[in-house]
Structure 1
Amino acid sequence: MSGPAGRARGRLTGWWRRRSLRTRLTVIAATAIAVSVFASFQVASELLAWELQDTVEDQLRADSRVLATNAERAGLAQAELPPYPGSGRLVRVILPDGSTRTPDGQPALPPVSEHAGRVAQGASADLMESGDLDDDGYLVYTLRAGGGAIQVARAADDSPINGFGLGMLLIGLLCVAGGALVGRTVARAGLAPIDRLTAAAVRVAHTRDLDADIPDEGGGEIRRLIQSINDMLAALRDSRRAQRLLAEDAAHELKTPLTSLRLNVELLIRLDRRGTLDSALPSESRTRLLDDLGAQVAELSTLAAELTDLARGDVSDESTEVLDLADVVMAAAARARSRVPDVEIALDVTSVWMSGRPAGLQRAVLNLIDNAGKWSPADQPVQIRLRAEGASAVLEVDDAGPGIDAADVPRVFDRFYRADSARALPGSGLGLSIVQRVVDAHGGRATVARSARGGALLRVDLPAAAPPAPIARPTAGEDTAVR
């Protein structure tokens, strides 16, 4: 909509949107009452008008029957007509020749209508019609009598309706004012919990105190809203607690490699400044120190990457797609072979389709293989098995190492957790926690047990999916040209 009407409507809409909810409820209540009063006035006025008209018509019929009786006795020309009282009823006699008689001093009535003339001629017994005279409304009743007709008329009296309308107007104004007051009071009482909820939310925003739950009050929608906000605060508390724990654990885990790296670098710098690097560190010792530095840098890089992955949580730009988990497992195994050529990997996989994020799943499988590669003896391969069991895709990574102690099993997938026997091995203790997060994000379950070879058996169950429908290929002889 454009033009002045559209601009006016836009300004009205903008004004309405800027009003508070309390003001809107007040206006709505007052408007609803005003509309109700107006509708009631219209209906009552119509009913009153019909009732008054029925009363006047009944009176006209009664008066006409009295005059018709007199006319039958004395004749239309000689019948005595009642004197005009100055207002109210009007009388007229229609003689057989079409002429009329009226009482002395009575105002003139409208000319005899065609329908009334037919009644006087015997076409029908009576007739009720309305007419106008000097901008006033009249009801005229015509009754056949004595070869002619008797007409009795009465001016329409609007004073009862006008008085009724004035009374309804005053009552309507009082109702609108009372409705606005009641609407304001109801809005204030109904929105009081929301006001307290807003104040509590503002207080939490200013103080950053997520431990202060908002008191549960009210019922219905208000209670559900408060519960939702409290649930959101609980989620924020958990998120902030997890962030704090992650930062504390990261600082703790970074302290040891950084300290070792700093000491080794400071040793090299100190010896180099003294000019005794070659004499103090023989070639073999220097090579071993540089290897240690390289390993520590690699460990820090891995730890930083895993911390970044964990800090991102479930937020990922990678889209979900239907994929063959066997392709993901084989790709992860190929990466593991390139990273650690010493570890032998034996694959026994079958095609199992699922809906997931390929990069995240590949990272989880790679972490499982890396974990198994640390423990598996050089002459024993890491066995990877993938199969379908019912509605699940089952992935098992089996090593021939010493296995996991029963005391360590409940914490295997915790962040930064490393068993006492694993502290001398490279790693950050984050690999399996990343596996747990990826599996949880895909609606799966990760468990640990002892394998038949005595080592650890890490099992992942993921929900399977139907394979995608094959793409229809044109048969021989079909026209495949693109038009």
Structure 2
Amino acid sequence: MSGSRGIGARWRRRRPLRARLALAASAAVALVAVGVCAAAFLIIRVQMTRQLDLSLSQTAGQVSKERRDWGPTASDDSCRYRAVPCVQIVPSDPARDPRGRYALPVGEATRQVAGGHRAAYYSKLTVGGKPVRMFTTRLPGKQEALQVALRSDTVERGVGQAAWALSVVGAAGVLLAAGLGYWVSRTGLAPVARLTATAERIAATRDARHRIELPAGPAGREDEVTRLAASFNVMLGELEQSVAAQRRLVADASHELRTPLTALRTNAELLARSARLTEAQRERAAAALGRQLREVTTLVNDLIELARDEEPQPLVEQVRPAALLEHAVGAAREHWPQIAFELHTDPAAADVTVPGVPARLARLLSNLLDNAAKFSPPGGPVTAALASVPGGVELTVRDHGPGIAAADLPHVFDRFYRADAARALPGSGLGLAMARQIARAHGADLTAQAAPGGGALFRMRMPLP
């Protein structure tokens, strides 16, 4: 048994889905066709036998009226003719039997019917080498049984012809079922075949730009396979965007790392010849080397943070945005002493808590405040505010710098994007991209816009749980 199951499992693995579906559909239709033919054969045989029995019963009724007073008689034709019935009357007492030999068989059951001890019955027998159907019943008011027989070879021949015809029809139905099963599997699995071919082509070429051709028609009439193909196309689009973003990130990171690494190598080579340098030159080279190492370290850490798509769930806890903002503003005042930071907290939002990772939210606020301070003129104010809004809290950070140009506004949160006005400023161009990623991981919406009266305004809305 285990060997047969193993063979069946190997067969299912080796056979393609189209062949298995065609075989299953063909087997189902063939089973129905054979079942219908078998049922039709049984119905035909029963009906033809019933018609013969009805004819025997009617003949017995007529004979009982015509030969009521004849007494026991023996049949004299031995059912030699197909349409002529054999008729004989048998008494319950064998002593009253006629002198002639009975053509139809007489047994104990016949005597019991004649004596009224048994009900009328039909029987199938052979007389003179011919198949016969016989009806035995009791004559009313007499101790005699009436036997009426008709040849049944006509019925049997009709049943045989019906069986042959139904066998032909069943075989044709099986062949038709096989053809229909193949057509159904070929038509129904065409989108799956295209999906498989596309997936194999992508695996071979590593090119996610391929798509599955979808049938034209109303969207409401799409079947499950078409929806699967459409979902696969959407997945391919997302994969293509992800691959493009990954390649762009690698290219941008390589470009951003090239300059500080070149400077690091230059200063390292310069310090390697420190014997030829003055003390002041060695100090400047060492300071530049330390500064460049910090820039590279910061850039690498930012890249690692951006490579993480979601926040680690074990670190999520209830945090107060007001406390985080206050701490971030305090840290920014120490880091940017030449900038005047202003903090405004709505009393209704002071005690509001939201689920999040405190360190990540603090990094988000620090990036927004550093970006605002970087673009603000010395002594210029940077305003951070937290207010309660329907369904959540809203945090805003505004500076009074040059603002954001309309052409730069759609790209503010792109990785490594730096506007013309920011190219001379320090930074890697990853701060705002990281801020938006952290906001999205916490279910918040971070946007940027030009502030009324000049400057830039960043707005983040955090929903309440």
Aligned to 1:83: 77
Quickly say closer, same or farther: Cα 1:306–1:112, change in 2 above 3 A: same
Matched, 1:176 2:174: yes
Aligned to 2:426: 426
Indicate which of 33, 43, 48 corresponds to 1:52.
48
| CA displacement at 1:57 relative to structure 2 | 2.0
Q: How many residues align?
A: 445
Deviations 1:255-291 (A, max 9, x none): 3322333333322222x2xx233xx233xx5444433
- In 2, the alpha carbon distance for the partners of 1:286 and 1:141 equals 133
| CA displacement at 1:358 relative to structure 2 | 5.1
Quickly say closer, same or farther: Cα 1:452–1:69, change in 2 above 3 A: closer
Indicate which of 103, 109, 119 corresponds to 1:106.
103
TM-score w.r.t. length of structure 1: 0.76
Matched, 1:144 2:139: yes
Equivalent pair of 1:320/1:355 in contact (CA under 8 Å): no
- In 2, the alpha carbon distance for the partners of 1:178 and 1:27 equals 13
Matched, 1:129 2:121: yes
Matching of residues 259-408 of structure 1 within 5 Å: 259-270=262-273, 272=274, 275-277=275-277, 280-282=278-280, 286-312=282-308, 314=309, 317-318=312-313, 323-326=318-321, 329=324, 333=328, 336=331, 340=335, 342=337, 346=343, 348=345, 350-356=350-356, 359-374=359-374, 383-399=383-399, 401-402=400-401, 404-407=403-406, 408=408
| CA displacement at 1:436 relative to structure 2 | 1.7
Q: Structure 2: 5+ residue runs without aligned partners?
A: none
Equivalent pair of 1:321/1:356 in contact (CA under 8 Å): yes
Indicate which of 246, 249, 260 corresponds to 1:243.
246
Quickly say closer, same or farther: Cα 1:187–1:377, change in 2 above 3 A: closer
Equivalent pair of 2:402/2:455 in contact (CA under 8 Å): yes
Equivalent pair of 1:446/1:459 in contact (CA under 8 Å): yes
- In 1, the alpha carbon distance for the partners of 2:213 and 2:48 equals 62
Secondary structure at the counterpart of residue 448 of structure 1 = strand
Matching of residues 413-452 of structure 1 within 5 Å: 413-449=413-449
Quickly say closer, same or farther: Cα 1:213–1:17, change in 2 above 3 A: closer
Aligned to 1:43: 39
TM-score w.r.t. length of structure 2: 0.78
Aligned to 1:23: 19
Which of 389-398 and 332-341 deviates more? 332-341
CA RMSD of aligned residues (A): 4.0
Q: Structure 1: 5+ residue runs without aligned partners?
A: 466-483
- In 2, the alpha carbon distance for the partners of 1:109 and 1:15 equals 62
Deviations 1:208-266 (A, max 9, x none): 34444444447744544443343333323322322232223223322332233333332
| CA displacement at 1:23 relative to structure 2 | 1.8
Aligned to 2:457: 457
- In 2, the alpha carbon distance for the partners of 1:106 and 1:300 equals 119
Equivalent pair of 2:90/2:111 in contact (CA under 8 Å): no
Counterpart code for 2:403: I
| CA displacement at 1:64 relative to structure 2 | 1.4
Aligned to 1:478: none
Counterpart code for 1:404: G
Equivalent pair of 2:320/2:351 in contact (CA under 8 Å): yes
Secondary structure at the counterpart of residue 306 of structure 2 = helix
Quickly say closer, same or farther: Cα 1:33–1:249, change in 2 above 3 A: closer
- In 1, the alpha carbon distance for the partners of 2:76 and 2:96 equals 15
Counterpart code for 2:318: L
Secondary structure at the counterpart of residue 352 of structure 1 = coil
| CA displacement at 1:69 relative to structure 2 | 2.3
